[in-house]
Amino acid sequence: MSNDDRLGRGLVFALSAFLLWGLAPVFFKLLAGVSAFEVLAHRVVWSVLILALVIQFQRRGWQSLRTLDRNTVKRLCYSSIFVSSNWLVFIWAVAQGRVLETSLGYFINPLITVLFGVFFLNEKLRRWQLFAIVLAFFGVLNQVFQLGYLPWVAVALALSFASYSVMRKSISIGPVQGLFVETLILLPVALLYLAWLGYQDSLAFGSSSVVLDLTLISSGLMTTIPLLLFAAGAQRLSLTAIGVAQYITPSMTFFLAVFLYREPFDSAQLISFMLIWLGLFMFTVEGIQRRRQH
């Protein structure tokens, strides 16, 4: 396979992953009538089954899992808490008509991740990165002053995913195997919660419609398919290309919130987003120039 073919396939895989993630609000809107905790539990259960099948068909898929040490499993326990918290807040926010806040959270997430890298991984913060983070901070601060409250959904999503990113960076494990272990750790809690809902006769699965049941099962596919596509794309593309393409997801979420779901969006929120967009632009351009120099 030529280098152009490799890059072309990588671009298709990566764009497909980001497009699917961008359409996630549309999918989870279909489950707005189901408790966010039940949706999360189904997402965990069906992801475990799907990922187990994927690993089964991978070459030496199970071998890396057999060599996991106690410290790695402990770190995966922490990362499973971060990723499940991120999923729960996102599912709840979509159901409550706060898609715009999720977009804000994922826009500021790369900047929070860099800041976490400075504090927890001893990475150095470059001047333009600092400017980008300051602009994002003022964007969130403007939201607080104009709205009268902290946009906690955006902050929670950014902090939880940045924490997850930093934790996973310190764990030597593939993306598929890593997510499998994380969801496997969460599986007992998910099954117990679903069993408790069934005992209380308040389980949505199996009590409403076949369409709803299939949608809940598909939450596992909505979790695993973009991950597999992203992993395939990341293997073929540069970090610069991946870094720029990642903004497709929150951009799609932003347009869905404003134009499809007609969520309130006034001049005050526009100022906040413009500050964050400017920070991201500086952050991205600086990263591209630095990689070219090296």
Main-chain phi, psi angles of 31, to 5 degrees: -110, 20
Q: Say which residue, 122 or 256, is predicted with more confidence.
A: 256
Over residues 75-120, the pLDDT tens digits come to: 999 999 999 999 999 999 999 999 999 999 998 888 888 888 788 7
Is 20 contained in some domain?
A: yes
Is 61 contained in some domain?
A: yes
How confident is the model over 61-68, as a mean pLDDT?
Answer: 82
Two tokens at 29?
A: 């809107």
Is 58 contained in some domain?
A: yes
pLDDT for 294 = 63
Task: Report which of 83, 111, 121 is spatially closest to residue 277, judged by C-alpha positions.
Answer: 111
Is 138 contained in some domain?
A: no
Is 273 contained in some domain?
A: no
Is 136 contained in some domain?
A: no
Question: How far does the chain reach from its first CA to its final CA, in angstroms?
Answer: 27
Is 217 contained in some domain?
A: yes
Q: Measured between alpha carbons, how far is 178 from 269 in angstroms, rounded to an integer? A: 37
Host domain of residue 30: 3-122+152-259
Is 244 contained in some domain?
A: yes
Task: Report which of 276, 238, 287, 282 is spatially closest to residue 3, judged by C-alpha positions.
Answer: 238
What percentage of residues in the chain have a pLDDT greater than 70?
95
Total structural domains within the chain: 1
Say which range, 61-75, 76-90, 180-194, 240-254, has the weakest mean pLDDT. Answer: 240-254
Q: What is the DSSP code string of 230-241?
A: HHHHHHHS-HHH
Using 50, 70 and 90 to split pLDDT, how confident is the model at 2?
low
What's the whole-number average pLDDT of the chain? 87
